[in-house]
Chain A
Amino acid sequence: GAVVSQHPSRVICKSGTSVKIECRSLDFQATTMFWYRQFPKQSLMLMATSNEGSKATYEQGVEKDKFLINHASLTLSTLTVTSAHPEDSSFYICSSHGRPTDTQYFGPGTRLTVL
């Protein structure tokens, strides 16, 4: 399967700071990446679809000004949580297609804790 990396794996920050999470596809070009959020013992909730070279498509209820997504190259998408608050503490995980199977492969996730 395809390999997707995510960095950092864990981050603790103070309330009000911004945190950037990187998602990289290591062995294929990803025109589309997806960002999910997961609370403990719950399912994954899609936040946005990241499109290379164009604006991200956000799901209903997700604040685009709070969760900034940049997909500047075919191998890198970034999610920036701006002015983070304790309620933003969650597990953030990205995924990408692995052509030609159309299977989605996931990064290892980033656990964000906002104090």
Chain B
Amino acid sequence: AQKITQTQPGMFVQEKEAVTLDCTYDTSDPSYGLFWYKQPSSGEMIFLIYQGSYDQQNATEGRYSLNFQKARKSANLVISASQLGDSAMYFCAMRDSSNTGKLIFGQGTTLQVKP
């Protein structure tokens, strides 16, 4: 069965520092997609970054990068130069292997950026 695990319930980071949010996954499917979403207190889910299992390079989007370690089955999110507006809950997700497109979410990590 597929599974996504985020082991950090809460994280603190100083403003302007970088922070890594951990995510490990388990799947027997050779083709899969991994996503990170940000959920601020307003509740909306904001898509941040996507990594395909066959992508040769780690995905990057502005201050967000995904540290994809396929052999370790990890897909950690790195946020560089943290800003106060980065304080939110972050979810790692994997596309379900059933080909319906539905996502399996991790438990989430609450990030607080300190001024």
Contact = CB atoms under 8 A, between A and B. Distances in A.
Interface residues of B, number: 22
A101 B37 CA distance: 15
Contacts of B43: 38, 91, 93, 108-109, 111
Interface string B90-115: 01000100001111011110100000
Contacts of B68: none
Question: Main SS of chain A's interface residues?
Answer: strand
Interface size, A (range): 20 to 34
Contacts, number: 56
Contacts of A111: 43
A97 B110 CA distance: 26
B103 A43 contact: no
B45 A93 contact: yes
Interface string A84-115: 00000001010101000111111111010000
Nearest to B52: A102
Contacts of B91: 43-44
A108 B44 contact: yes
B47 A103 contact: yes
Contacts of B45: 44, 93, 95, 106, 109
B22 to A, nearest CB: 15
Contact of A43 (B33, B100, B107): B107
Interface in B24-46: 33, 35, 37, 42-46
Nearest to A44: B105
Interface in B53-110: 89, 91, 95, 100-103, 105-108, 110
Interface in A29-44: 32, 34, 38, 41-44
